[in-house]
């Protein structure tokens, strides 16, 4: 167990180093941010002074060395545009993105798992065809178009739900979130539904595939032969059998939702990190972009580690394999 966790942490550290290199030099190669930060009427001397103040007059390798040295002391640098600490800017926006991703994954699981089970236990039925068709639409429809349609129908035409913003925040156990107020829930429903569309389709198809496979296995036939109710067979025996791949997919999708909520946040003006990233890229704000990527990769590493730990709980064979490998 300890070696497994240590191995994941070392892998994550290597990924962080690689991402910092790619992000830093990629943003460096895009252009010079001073052209966006100084007045167009500024003299060349003023431009050079700004470059010096930002450290952009140093060689690229030296800039990266200074950046890594700052990271070692917990300093991710300051925004070129606002001069605020880059990490503080991200951490201020991160709760909004996390709650949006969490709401989306809950919707995806609550809707996708029952739909997949119903389709998988009734192969070839009309319900099966409906679920499969809906999942194909969920994969195919562009996120920005779905978001605009949701706004048009539920916000503009019907006037049931707000179309932008985070809404009123509530507090529970010291945590501030829009999930704790009715107004906040009304604001998050449309963007969460829009963000959940793809993972919902993925969950439904994965669950359907696993359920169809489980129907042919001996333990399901034996349970039915014993007279166990169909509901218990499906929601206890079959669901437990397919839980490991579903948990794997949920862990991966949650990280992807946090990382790629950019389109949804832009469409619904959700004040999260995705919107901040778009703004920072537009003004070549290197410290904010690099800090954002490092935070997102850290979240991925943490989610992968948690997923592995859930494996050890759900499937004893995974525990045995992990222990044998560690030995």
Instruction: Render pLDDT for 178-191 as a digit per residue (tens, 0 to 9).
Output: 888 898 889 999 99
> Which of 29, 49, 28 minimizes the C-alpha distance to 39?
49
pLDDT, the chain, mean: 80
- pLDDT above 70 covers a percentage of the chain that reads 85
Mean pLDDT throughout 9-18?
78
Provide the residue ranges of all domains of the chain, joining segments of one domain with +.
93-284
pLDDT of residue 281 exceeding 90, the answer is no
Instruction: Specify the CATH number of the domain 93-284.
Output: 1.10.3720.10
**Predicted local distance difference test score (pLDDT) of residue 270:** 87
Which residues are CB-contacts of 225 (< 8 A; sequence separation ≥ 6)? none
Q: Dihedrals φ, ψ of 301, to 5°?
A: -60, -45
The residue with greater pLDDT, 83 or 127, is 127
Confidence check: pLDDT of 309 > 70: yes
| DSSP labels, 246-270 | HHHHHHHHHHHHHHT-HHHHHHTT-
> What is the model's pTM?
0.78
Strands 170-172, 175-177: parallel, antiparallel or unpaired by DSSP? antiparallel
pLDDT given for residue 324 in this prediction? 41
The pLDDT of residue 321: 45
Largest CA distance in the chain: 87
| pLDDT (0 to 100) of residue 65 | 76
Does the structure show a pLDDT above 80 at 30? no
For residue 193, pLDDT beyond 70:
yes
């Amino acid at each position: 167990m300890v070696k497994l966790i240590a191995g994941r942490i070392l892998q994550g550290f290597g990924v962080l180093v690689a991402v910092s290199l790619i992000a830093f030099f990629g943003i460096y190669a895009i252009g010079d941010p001073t052209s966006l930060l100084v007045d167009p009427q500024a003299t060349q001397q003023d431009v050079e002074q700004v470059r010096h103040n930002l450290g952009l007059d140093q060689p690229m390798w030296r800039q990266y060395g200074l950046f890594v040295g700052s990271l070692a002391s917990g300093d991710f640098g300051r925004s070129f545009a606002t001069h605020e600490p880059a990490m503080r800017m991200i951490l201020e926006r991160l709760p909004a993105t996390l709650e949006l991703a969490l709401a989306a994954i809950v919707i995806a699981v609550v809707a996708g798992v029952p739909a997949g089970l119903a389709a998988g236990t009734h192969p070839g039925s009309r319900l099966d065809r409906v679920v499969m068709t809906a999942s194909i639409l969920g994969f195919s429809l562009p996120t920005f178009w779905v978001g605009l349609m949701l706004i048009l129908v539920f916000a503009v035409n019907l006037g049931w739900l707000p179309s932008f913003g985070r809404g009123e925040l509530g507090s529970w156990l010291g945590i501030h979130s829009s999930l704790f107020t009715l107004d906040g829930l009304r604001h998050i429903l449309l963007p969460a539904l829009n963000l959940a569309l793809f993972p919902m389709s993925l969950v439904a198809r994965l669950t359907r595939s696993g359920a169809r496979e489980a129907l042919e296995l001996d333990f399901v036939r034996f349970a039915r032969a014993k007279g166990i109710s169909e509901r218990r067979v499906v929601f206890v025996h079959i669901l437990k059998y397919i839980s490991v791949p579903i948990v794997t997919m949920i862990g991966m999708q949650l990280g992807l939702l946090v990382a790629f909520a950019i389109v949804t946040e832009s469409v619904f003006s959700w004040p999260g990190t995705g919107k901040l990233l778009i703004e920072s890229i537009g003004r070549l704000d290197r410290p904010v972009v690099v800090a954002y990527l490092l935070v997102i990769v850290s979240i991925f590493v943490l989610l992968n580690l948690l997923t592995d730990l859930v494996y050890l709980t759900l499937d004893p064979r995974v525990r045995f394999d992990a222990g044998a490998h560690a030995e």
